[in-house]
């Protein structure tokens, strides 16, 4: 019996990336969130005067941008299984020697990689704009090393959790739109926690970060197992059960 | 139904069957998809699986293709027991072409096939893709986006995809469904080519003339297996042999002409100047009937053996079942 195949994972990853890139409605919808989570804070920050910079020290504005990895990949991941099912392409794929774990991992990576790339890119652009155009006092209040590290560490963790949740929905849903809407709703608690930390309602301490990172790591590890357990070939192909 | 009924014999030591199905059933809750199905398909055989809509043909293909789990019974697919733990190994040796081609319409023909070549972990994927495209005469459309292809061409791409792993058993589920006659004929020619190469083909179809033309044996399924055998065997089994006689004028005393003829078991009128003779042996009955007609002074227009198509067999079985309900 043959074992786990990284070649099959890569085949699904490459195929899904190509599919996402050429599916205009998906890329446009996915592009809304980076705009939403960067333009409004940027405008606010750029209009801040130096005298308002002390107020920024009590908030973590940069963390708002974790909303991008929380929401953007959910749309793609929610599409990944039910979208193939609706197109009629799932059955031929499942008729090959692919294991469900290989299929799910390939699809998760295809949602994760562009989401992380977009999130880091938007974050970098945001920082560059702040450095270049915001008042110096505002920029120094805003850009702090712990917040930068938090952004770097939590972007993949948040995106990963968002993807597994959306894929879980995608394996059970029978319509792409419904799956995407439910995935958005399922991502809202993550966004709420991010906002509460950004507003300092939940204190943004090292302990908070450590607990949150450990929890997300655990959830991401469980994610593949959970989605794999709910991935029912028979139901996906026949629509029964 | 005997599992080995009518297997094509070559006169040599029979090889292991490519498919061996033993009392296989599938239920979805209370609904029976197919029940107690038993048959064998020989290596290199083209086996037709016929039946009306909802008869369980596609579900049988999916069960044998390890896409769904049978409720009971056993099967061997390409020499491997049909069990969940053998799914990957079975799927490496077979190919399933579903009724809908299921192509990625935003991808080119080559991109579609390359993805599947990777999923089968084929060495030299580019070469294999080229050979598969060559087999279905699609080399010149390799760079075309699948969404821009006609239905017939998409079906050919799906067939090329099914050939990528050089399968021991190829399951074709309604391969000509929805195709125009020209496109359907192209697919028939491709299947004919595969048969000549010795590929075992399990073909489900609605098109009886397709089954008659392509298949060595057929099985008729309507939830349970109704019959199995070579098309000519099924005709002989279900229909009495008849001779159809046409004369220029009605015979004044047909009973005197046909009564007591060698190998003629009975006769009935078929129109004003037509007669259907029920015979046990056409080679004996036809000359005897001609001699009797000439002796009676009749002008014979034609005498021919009545031909029953596979469609007649199919309709008789399905109609008999409907009456029996």
Return the domain boundaries, chain A.
6-238
Q: What is the mean pLDDT of chain A?
A: 90
Q: Does residue B51 sit within a domain?
A: yes
Predicted confidence at residue B9, as pLDDT, reads 40
Same domain for B265 and B165, yes or no, is: no
d(CA A148, CA A138): 16
Q: What percent of chain A has pLDDT over 70?
A: 97
- Do B86 and B166 lie in one domain? The reply is yes
In what order do the strands lie in the sheet containing B217-222?
Answer: B94-97, B169-173, B200-205, B46-50, B217-222, B224-229
Q: Mark yes or no for CB contact A89/B115 under 8 Å.
A: no
Give domain status of residue B324, yes or no: no
Closest chain A residue to the Cα of B161, Cα to Cα: A92
Across B155-292, the runs of DSSP E, i.e. the strands, are 169-173, 200-205, 217-222, 224-229, 241-247, 264-269, 274-279
Inter-chain residue contact B91 with A14, CB threshold 8 Å: no
Inform me whether the C-beta atom of residue B68 falls under 8 Å from chain A C-beta atoms: yes
Q: What is the pLDDT of residue B34?
A: 96
d(CA A103, CA A86): 17
Q: Range of B269's domain?
A: 240-307
**Best residue in B54, B68, B119 for a mutation probing chain A (most A CBs within 10 Å):** B119
Instruction: Give the H/E segment covering residue B37.
Output: strand B31-41
A150, A148, A182, A154: which is closest to A74 by C-alpha? A182
DSSP code of residue B145: B
Distance in Å, alpha carbon of B229 to nearest chain A alpha carbon: 28
Angle at B152 between CA B147 and CA B156, to 5 degrees: 85
Q: Are residues B50 and B122 in the same domain?
A: yes
> What is the predicted pLDDT for the residue at A241?
53
> Is residue B246, in this structure, part of any structural domain at all?
yes
Mean pLDDT on A55-63: 76
Retrieve residue A161's tokens: 């959790």
Full DSSP string of A83-111: HHHHHT-HHHHHTSS--HHHHHHHHHHHH
Q: Which residue of B has its CA nearest to A23?
A: B106
Is pLDDT at A41 greater than 90 in this prediction?
A: no
Residues B70 and B178 in one domain: yes
A6, A97, A232, A240: which to substitute to probe chain B, counting the most B Cβ within 10 Å? A97
pLDDT at B10: 41
What per-residue confidence (pLDDT) applies to B307? 72
Give residue A37's pLDDT.
81
Give yes or no: residues B208 and B266 share one domain.
no
Q: Which of B68, B85, B92 sits opposite A238 (nearest CB)?
A: B68
Token code pair at residue B108: 């080119």
- Which residues on chain A are in Cβ contact (under 8 Å) with B96? 91-92, 95
Q: Are residues B259 and B145 in the same domain?
A: no
Q: How far apart are CA A15 and CA B230, in angstroms?
A: 43
The total of other beta-carbon atoms located within 10 Å of residue A117's CB is: 10
B196 and B251 assigned to the same domain? no
CA of A89 vs chain B CAs: smallest distance (Å): 4
Nearest chain B residue to A93 by CA distance is: B116
Whether B141 contacts chain A with CB within 8 A: no
- Which of A92, A102, A241 best probes binding to B when mutated, by most B CB atoms within 10 angstroms? A92
Option in B67, B69, B107 nearest A18 (CB): B107
Beta-carbon separation of A1 and B69 below 8 A: no
Strand-strand pairing, B46-50 and B217-222: parallel
Q: Name the closest residue on chain A to residue B68, using Cα atoms.
A: A234
Residue B163 resides in a domain: yes
Q: Which of B236, B255, B272 is the last residue of a domain?
A: B236
Same domain, B167 and B246: no
Say which residue, B185 or A227, is predicted with more confidence. A227
pLDDT digits 0-9 by tens, A87-126: 999 999 999 999 999 999 999 999 999 999 999 999 999 8
Can you give the CATH number for the domain in which B263 is found? 3.30.70.100
Residues B32, B34, B38: CA angle, nearest 5 degrees: 145
Q: Give A93→chain B minimum CA distance, Å.
A: 8
Query: Which residues of A fall within a CB distance of 8 Å from B122?
Result: none
Q: Are residues B88 and A89, on separate chains, in Cβ contact within 8 Å?
A: no
Distance CA B325, CA B322 (A): 5
Test A2 with B96 for CB contact under 8 angstroms.
no
Residue A85: the pLDDT is: 94
Domain contains B147: yes
Assign residue B88 the CATH number of its domain: 3.40.50.300
**B115 near A CB under 8 A:** yes
How many Cβ atoms sit within 10 Å of the Cβ of residue B43? 18
Nearest C-alpha of chain B: how many angstroms from A82? 14
Where helices occur in B227-281 by DSSP H, the ranges are 231-238, 254-258
Per-residue confidence (pLDDT) for residue B2, from 0 to 100: 37
Q: How many domains does chain B have?
A: 2
H or E stretch at A224: helix A206-230
A238 close to B (CB below 8 A) = yes
Residues B122 and B51 in one domain: yes
- φ/ψ region of B15 (left if φ > 0, alpha if ψ in -120 to 50, else beta) reads beta
CA distance to B52, B239, B317, B318, B321, per residue, from B324 (Å): 17, 18, 10, 10, 5
Tell me which of A141-150, A173-182, B301-310 is least confident. Answer: B301-310
Measured CA distances, B319 to A37, A78, B41, B314 (Å): 67, 47, 27, 8
Q: Does A90 touch chain B (CB under 8 A)?
A: yes
Low-confidence residues in chain B, pLDDT < 50: 1-12
Contacts of residue A238 in chain B, CB cutoff 8 Å? 28, 59, 62, 68
Residues B245 and B219 in one domain: no
Angle, CA of B253, B258 and B262, to the nearest 5°? 160
User: Which of A11, A97, A234 faces B115 most closely, judged by CB atoms?
Assistant: A11
Closest approach of chain B CAs to the CA of A106, in angstroms? 11
Q: Does the beta-carbon distance from B96 to A97 stay under 8 Å?
A: no
Chains A & B: contacts with CB separation below 8 Å: 93
Q: Is residue B316 part of a domain?
A: no
Phi and psi at residue B4, to the nearest 5° = -95, 10
Interchain contact A88–B (C-beta under 8 A): yes
pLDDT 10s digits, A192-214: 999 898 888 888 888 989 999 99
Residue written as token pair 């959910």:
A74
Q: Is B3 part of a structural domain of the chain?
A: no
Q: Which of B211, B236, B261 is the last residue of a domain?
A: B236
Chain B residues with CB under 8 Å of A107 CB are none
**Unique residue bearing structure tokens 């562009």:** A114
Locate A27 and state its tokens: 């890329």
H or E, element range at A25: helix A24-47
pLDDT band with cut points at 50, 70 and 90 for residue A47: confident
- Residues B177, B209: one domain? yes
User: What pLDDT sits at residue A143?
Assistant: 85
For chain B, the straight-line distance linking the first and the last C-alpha, in angstroms and rounded, comes to 21
Given B210, B236, B262, the domain boundary residue is B236
For position B317, what pLDDT does the model report?
75
In the stretch 15-74 of chain A, residues with CB closer than 8 A to chain B read 15, 18-19, 22-23
Q: Does B262 contact A at CB distance below 8 Å?
A: no
Distance from CA of A104 to the nearest CA of B (A): 14
Are residues B287 and B147 part of one domain?
no
Our measurement of the distance from residue B164's CA atom to the centroid of its chain's CA atoms, rounded to an integer in Å, reads 23
Q: What distance in Å separates the CA atoms of residue B229 and residue B87, rounded to the nearest whole number? A: 29
Residue B30 lies in a domain: yes
- The rounded percent of chain A whose pLDDT value lies above 90 is 63
At B1 the pLDDT is 36
A11-21 burial code (b ≥16 CB/10 A, e <16): bbbbbbbbbbe
B116 → closest Cβ in A18, A96, A241: A96
């Amino acid at each position: 019996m043959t074992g786990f195949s990284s070649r099959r994972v890569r085949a699904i990853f490459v195929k899904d990336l190509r599919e996402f890139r050429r599916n205009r409605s998906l890329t446009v919808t996915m592009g809304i969130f980076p705009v939403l989570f960067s333009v409004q804070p940027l405008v606010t920050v750029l209009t801040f005067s130096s005298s308002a910079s002390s107020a920024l020290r009590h908030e973590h504005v940069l963390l708002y941008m974790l909303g991008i990895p929380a929401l953007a990949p959910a749309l793609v991941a929610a599409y990944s299984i039910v979208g193939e099912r609706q197109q009629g392409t799932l059955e031929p794929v499942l008729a090959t020697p692919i294991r469900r774990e290989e299929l799910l991992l390939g699809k998760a990576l295809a949602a994760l990689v562009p989401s992380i790339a977009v999130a880091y890119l938007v974050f970098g652009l945001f920082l560059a704009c702040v450095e270049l155009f915001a008042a110096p006092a505002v920029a120094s209040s805003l850009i702090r090393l712990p917040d930068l590290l938090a952004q770097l560490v939590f972007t993949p963790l948040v995106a990963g959790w968002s993807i597994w949740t959306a894929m879980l929905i995608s394996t059970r849903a029978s319509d792409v739109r419904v799956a995407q809407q439910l995935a958005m709703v399922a991502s809202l608690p993550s966004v709420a926690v991010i906002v509460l930390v950004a507003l300092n309602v939940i204190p943004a301490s090292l302990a908070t970060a450590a607990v949150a990172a450990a929890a997300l790591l655990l959830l991401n590890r469980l994610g593949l197992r959970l989605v794999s357990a709910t991935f029912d070939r028979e139901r996906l192909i026949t629509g029964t059960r | 139904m005997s599992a080995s009924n009518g297997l094509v014999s070559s006169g040599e030591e029979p090889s292991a069957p490519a498919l061996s199905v033993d009392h296989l059933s599938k239920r979805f809750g209370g609904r029976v998809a197919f029940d107690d199905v038993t048959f064998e398909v020989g290596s290199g055989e083209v086996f037709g699986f016929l039946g009306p809509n909802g008869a369980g043909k596609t579900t049988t293909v999916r069960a044998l293709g390890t896409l769904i789990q049978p409720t009971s019974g056993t099967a061997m697919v390409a020499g491997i027991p049909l069990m969940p733990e053998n799914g990957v190994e079975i799927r490496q040796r077979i190919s399933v072409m579903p009724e809908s081609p299921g192509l990625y319409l935003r991808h080119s023909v080559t991109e579609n096939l390359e993805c599947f070549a990777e999923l089968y972990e084929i060495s030299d994927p580019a070469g294999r893709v080229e050979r598969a495209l060559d087999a279905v005469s699609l080399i010149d459309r390799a760079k075309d986006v699948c969404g821009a292809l006609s239905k017939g061409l998409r079906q050919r791409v799906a067939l090329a995809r099914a050939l990528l792993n050089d399968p021991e058993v190829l399951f074709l589920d309604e391969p000509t469904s929805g195709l125009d006659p020209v496109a359907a004929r192209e697919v028939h020619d491709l299947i004919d080519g595969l048969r000549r190469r010795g590929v075992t083909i399990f073909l489900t179809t609605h098109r009886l003339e397709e089954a008659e033309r392509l298949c060595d044996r057929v099985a008729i399924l309507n939830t349970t297996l109704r019959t199995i055998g070579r098309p000519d065997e099924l005709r002989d089994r279900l229909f009495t042999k008849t001779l159809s006689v046409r004369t220029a004028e009605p015979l004044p005393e047909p009973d005197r002409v046909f009564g007591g003829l060698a190998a003629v078991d009975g006769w009935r009128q078929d129109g004003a100047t037509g007669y259907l003779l029920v015979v046990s042996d056409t080679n004996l009955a036809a000359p005897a009937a001609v001699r009797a007609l000439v002796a009676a002074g009749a002008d014979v227009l034609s005498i021919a053996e009545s031909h029953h198509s596979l469609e007649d067999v199919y309709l008789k079985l399905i109609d008999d079942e409907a009456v029996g309900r």
